[in-house]
Structure 1
Amino acid sequence: MFYYYQEQQLRTQEYIESGILETFVLGAASEQEVKELLFMKAEYPEVNEALQQLEKDIEKLARNLAVEPPSGTWYKIAQEINAVIPHQESSPQVFNRKNDRERPDTEKDKGDQYIEVEGSSSHMRLHKAWRWVFAGVFILGKIFLAFAIYFYLENKHTQQQIQELRTEIRELKNKK
């Protein structure tokens, strides 16, 4: 019996030192590892104690390594949220369905109530795919602009050369 108890303690200690507790606490354990750990935690108090101690240690580590955000960050976040979510000082409206049988008869006669949705934000929201489309159109616009400027300058230079050739031809004709 004593030998069995020592063997169980060795297996439990090996399990604790295997790194599976760390994997579980960091959220990287597989589903099978989680099930196994939960069984071991319920079966062996040493595993439960080691897991609790590890969670405390990681929490301490996170607190010690935490970087405090610059002052005013929470204010900026609140402003962004308030810009996206309009706040109105009105009472909430109730949305009723036609087939709701628990409503009184007076409400059934009113029909469905609609909630007006109006955005007061000055920001435009786009689907992520459209962002790439707009970026592509913007880049193509810059490329076309560069080509237009290049060909404009080339045309101007060519026109200047043609003008110089015409004056040379006139001068040659006048000399004869």
Structure 2
Amino acid sequence: MKDYIDSGALEVFVMGCATDEEVQELMYMKAKYPEVNEALKQLEIDMEKMAQNAAIMPPPGTWNKIEDEINDLILREERQNKPVQFRTSDNGYNGQPKAPAADQYIEVEGASSHMRLHKAWRYVFAAIFVLGKIFLGFAIYFYLENRQAQEQLKELKTEVKELRR
């Protein structure tokens, strides 16, 4: 029995990775030998303690957010199952849907003033920023070249005027 318990079959079963044959064999051994049953119970207790020690506490207010989301889903489902209400207008036409009530809109307030982006978009924005700097450099370069060419053109015009005289 000690060899069977130390073989790792109990750990495989507790982790949920055992095959059907291994599960059947373990159930047989568990029913036949009480020490296998005790080892299995102790292993489950140890695994639970390890999971509790490694657990990370969620940020405060998480449960309230989850509860609000569930309540919103329930209310949305109830609204979708209601029949559409129509009103009669003053000029005798029917069939215009009712205007939505003010309480149907949810006020959205963010916890932070920062936007969250998918990682791929971060790379796109970084590439756009770098390209913008490159284009700015080219614009300044060509502006200075143009200004220098215009000064040279003015000098050449003055030289041509002096030569004509």
Q: Number of aligned pairs?
A: 132
**How does the TM-score come out when normalised to structure 2?**
0.53
Runs of 4+ with deviation above 4 angstroms: 80-83, 88-94, 120-123, 136-141, 143-148
User: What are the ranges of 5 or more consecutive residues in structure 2 without an aligned counterpart?
Assistant: 83-104, 109-117
Q: Does 1:87 align with 2:75?
A: yes
User: What are the ranges of 5 or more consecutive residues in structure 1 without an aligned counterpart?
Assistant: 1-11, 95-119, 124-130
Residue 14 of structure 1 deviates from its aligned partner by 0.5
Are the counterparts in 2 of residues 86 and 121 from structure 1 also a CA contact under 8 Å?
Answer: no
- SS of the residue corresponding to residue 38 of structure 1 reads helix
1:22 is matched with: 11
Q: Provide the C-alpha distance between the structure 1 equivalents of 2:80 and 2:150, rounded to a whole number of angstroms.
A: 77
Q: CA distance change for structure 1 residues 150 and 50 in 2, over 3 Å: closer, same or farther? A: same
Q: Provide the C-alpha distance between the structure 1 equivalents of 2:8 and 2:151, rounded to a whole number of angstroms.
A: 84
2:50 is matched with: 61
The aligned amino acid for 1:162 is A
**How does the TM-score come out when normalised to structure 1?**
0.51
- The percent of aligned pairs where both chains have the same amino acid is 38
Q: Does 1:159 align with 2:146?
A: yes
Q: Provide the C-alpha distance between the structure 1 equivalents of 2:30 and 2:39, rounded to a whole number of angstroms.
A: 9
Residue 136 of structure 1 deviates from its aligned partner by 9.4
Counterparts of residues 45-124 of structure 1 (less than 5 Å): 45-81=34-70, 85=73, 87-88=75-76, 90=78, 93=81
Residue 82 of structure 1 deviates from its aligned partner by 5.1
Residue 50 of structure 1 deviates from its aligned partner by 0.9
Q: Provide the C-alpha distance between the structure 2 equivalents of 1:162 and 1:27, rounded to a whole number of angstroms.
A: 78
